[in-house]
């Protein structure tokens, strides 16, 4: 779908929405870290999530700001896609780093970050060779590994706490599917499936923040 540009922004909705949201979630991240004080482990794993959010949104915002064709656009395109893996792994980090112990904490995080690093490597090196459907499958498969974690947390803490986490996963999934199907086009040249993907990513991050704030209200600080 052709996208109307404005001076300085090749894809205005995609770029502006993610650049502004990078600032917003950075501020919310500071509040989240303040709420997590009392344990170095909590602060570190929460910081990993906040940095992963700001990294993805910043890379995405700048990438969609640039017109295609230049070296900067090519580099940022790869960083944008790599940032998706960073965000997925970063989203797992505070959940397992705070709510789980033993293998359920560090074993799962080691697995997730290993898979994410592998995905980043494949995406960066073989970017032009990986079909879109395979890239989407990699993202969603890595993200939905968290289903088992969600079921465990639902049983342990109840639906009121875990529901935002479910909505977060669904938001990312719906956005990815709409992007793959190339539909719908709400405003031709302005808002289509790619812009809806960007909005769904923001919704997914927002729901995850909501879950983390609720999680911190329910759990006492624990040491490293």
Backbone angles phi, psi at 187, to 5 degrees: -130, 105
194 labeled part of a ligand binding site:
yes
Residues in Cβ contact with 139 at an 8 Å cutoff, skipping those fewer than 6 apart: 84, 85, 88, 119, 172, 176
Measure the CA–CA gap between 72 and 76, rounded to whole angstroms.
6
> How does pLDDT run across 19-43, given as a tens digit for each residue?
999 999 999 999 999 999 989 999 9
pLDDT digits (tens, 9 = 90+) for 166-194: 999 999 999 999 999 999 999 998 999 99
Q: Are 78 and 128 in contact (CB under 8 A)?
A: no
pLDDT one-digit tens code per residue, 115-158: 999 999 998 898 888 888 888 899 999 999 999 999 999 999 99
Phi, psi at 183, each rounded to 5°: -155, 155
pLDDT band at 1, cuts 50/70/90?
A: low
What pLDDT, on the 0 to 100 scale, is given for residue 221? 57
Cα–Cα nearest to 17, from 210, 194, 209: 194
Was 64 annotated as part of a binding site?
yes
Residue 6: what are its φ and ψ, rounded to 5°? -125, 160
Tally of helices (H runs) and strands (E runs) in the chain: 8, 0
Closest CA to 67 of 12, 136, 121: 12
Q: Write down all domains in the chain, each with its CATH number in brackets.
A: 12-218 (1.20.1070)
Tens of pLDDT, residue by residue over 50-93, are: 999 999 999 999 999 998 888 899 999 999 999 999 999 999 99
Q: What is the pLDDT of residue 46?
A: 98
**Cβ atoms 14, 199 nearer than 8 A:** no
**Does residue 223 register a pLDDT over 50?**
no
CA dihedral 127, 47, 18, 31 (to 10 degrees): 170
């Amino acid at each position: 779908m052709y996208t109307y540009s404005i001076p300085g922004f090749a894809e205005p909705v995609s770029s502006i929405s993610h650049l502004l949201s990078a600032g917003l979630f950075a501020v919310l991240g500071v509040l989240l870290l303040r709420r997590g004080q009392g344990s170095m482990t909590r602060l570190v794993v929460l910081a990993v999530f906040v940095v992963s959010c700001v990294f993805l949104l910043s890379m995405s915002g700048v990438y969609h700001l640039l017109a295609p064709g230049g070296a900067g656009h090519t580099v940022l395109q790869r960083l944008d896609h790599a940032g998706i893996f960073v965000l997925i792994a970063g989203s797992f980090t505070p959940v397992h780093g705070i709510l789980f112990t033993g293998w359920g904490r560090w074993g799962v995080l080691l697995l997730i970050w290993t898979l994410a690093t592998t995905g980043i490597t494949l995406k960066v090196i073989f970017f032009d060779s990986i079909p879109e459907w395979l890239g989407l499958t990699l993202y969603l498969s890595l993200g939905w590994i968290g289903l088992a974690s969600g079921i465990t947390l639902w049983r342990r803490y109840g639906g009121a706490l875990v529901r935002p986490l479910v909505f977060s996963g669904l938001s990312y999934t719906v956005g990815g599917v709409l992007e793959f199907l190339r539909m719908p086009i709400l405003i031709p040249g302005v808002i289509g499936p790619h812009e809806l993907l960007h909005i769904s990513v923001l919704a997914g991050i927002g729901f995850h923040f909501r879950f983390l704030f609720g999680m911190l209200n329910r759990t006492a600080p624990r040491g490293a």
